[in-house]
């Protein structure tokens, strides 16, 4: 099978293999590694502000558990705290401690860079979008499930910020939650949306997936690389939809998805992905 045009490389939660995920440090690292764009996750706080973080809880990527003066443990969640409380937290020091991708141990991330992550803050979506606009870097905003919270408020807030900053042409919005995408499309039809599917949902019958995409008016499918059947990407592309696959970190998956015609790959290693994809493109042109 021939090599497809090179897929776009999206940095997953920023270049989180070398910087604390969903922080501005990770966004800057993604830009430095040559990513086309970066993917981020958004939640809404207790006082209605939009912040960039993946988990509903804040204990994994902040020091909230050891921070004095914080509310009880059951309120260590995004919508249990105000923006001011969340901004007090250190969202960077954990990276050196946990070394989630082994890049500290390998020396890829050195002491000086690690020191700069100390006291990194959880950014607001406003800050992340302004930086992206000024950097000329497209952004994939993933609208999270508020787990019984104000999903509609989150969607409306995302719409307001995108329009207020004039970023309609620089943003792709995605979600696992069809209701959020439906509301977003009703409020902001000029911005494309992508339907996220987990491993199990990605293995659903092709006809069912295509029906869901059409019903949502989606531009793209965002399936998990895990369990993604051979030929599925090409079939979805043939039906007229882009396919942006997450989280693609292995070389063999990058090569396979390029051959199958993926529009984009969402990866923790943007520099690695760019090198691999550029190499196969060079091979094709030789």
Domain harbouring 197, CATH code:
3.20.20.190
Evaluate whether residue 55 is within a structural domain: yes
- Domain contains 1: no
| Domain count along the chain | 1
Whether the CB-CB separation of 61 and 136 falls below 8 Å is answered with no
Backbone torsions φ then ψ of 8, nearest 5 degrees: -75, 145
Residue 268: burial class (beta carbons within 10 Å; 0-12, 13-18, 19+): buried
Query: How much is the pLDDT for 243?
Result: 98
Sites in the chain below the pLDDT cut of 70: 1-5, 281-286
Per-residue tokens: 79:
């919508």
In a domain, 243, yes or no: yes
Q: Give the pLDDT confidence score for residue 279 in this predicted structure.
A: 79
Q: The domain containing residue 122 runs over which residues?
A: 8-285
Whether 257 and 273 have beta carbons less than 8 Å apart is answered as no
Predicted TM-score (pTM) of this structure: 0.95
Whole-angstrom Cα distance, residue 174 to residue 143? Answer: 6
43 in a domain, yes or no? Answer: yes
pLDDT given at position 2: 36
Tokens of 110: 């050195």
User: Quick one: pLDDT at residue 262?
Assistant: 97
Please tell me the predicted confidence (pLDDT) of residue 280.
77
According to the model, what pLDDT value does residue 230 have? 92
Residue at 49 is within a domain = yes
| Residue-level pLDDT at 94 | 97
* 3 falls within a domain: no
């Amino acid at each position: 099978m021939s090599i497809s045009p090179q897929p776009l490389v999206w940095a997953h939660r920023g270049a989180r293999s070398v910087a604390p995920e969903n922080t501005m440090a990770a966004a800057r690292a993604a830009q430095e590694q040559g990513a086309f764009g970066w993917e981020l996750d958004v939640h809404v706080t207790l006082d209605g502000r939009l912040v960039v973080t993946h988990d509903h809880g804040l204990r994994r990527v902040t020091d909230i558990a050891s921070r004095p003066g914080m509310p009880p443990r059951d309120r260590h969640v995004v919508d249990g705290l105000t923006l001011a409380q969340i901004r007090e937290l250190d969202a960077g020091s954990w990276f050196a401690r946990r070394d989630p991708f082994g890049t500290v141990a390998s020396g890829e991330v050195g002491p000086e860079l690690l020191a700069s992550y100390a006291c990194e803050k959880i950014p607001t979506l406003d800050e992340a979008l302004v930086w992206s606009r000024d950097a000329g870097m497209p952004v994939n905003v993933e609208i999270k499930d508020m787990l019984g919270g104000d999903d509609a408020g989150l969607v409306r807030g995302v719409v307001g910020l995108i329009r207020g900053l004039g970023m309609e042409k620089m943003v792709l919005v995605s979600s696992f939650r069809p209701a959020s995408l439906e509301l977003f499309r009703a409020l902001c039809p000029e911005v494309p949306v992508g339907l996220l599917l987990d491993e199990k949902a990605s293995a659903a019958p092709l006809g069912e997936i295509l029906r869901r995409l059409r019903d949502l008016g989606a531009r793209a499918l965002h399936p998990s690389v895990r369990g993604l059947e051979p030929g599925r990407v090409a079939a979805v592309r043939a039906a007229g939809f882009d396919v942006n696959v997450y989280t693609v970190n292995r070389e063999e998956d990058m090569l396979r998805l390029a051959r199958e015609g993926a529009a984009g790959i969402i990866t923790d290693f943007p520099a690695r992905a760019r090198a691999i994809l550029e190499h196969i493109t060079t091979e094709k042109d030789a």
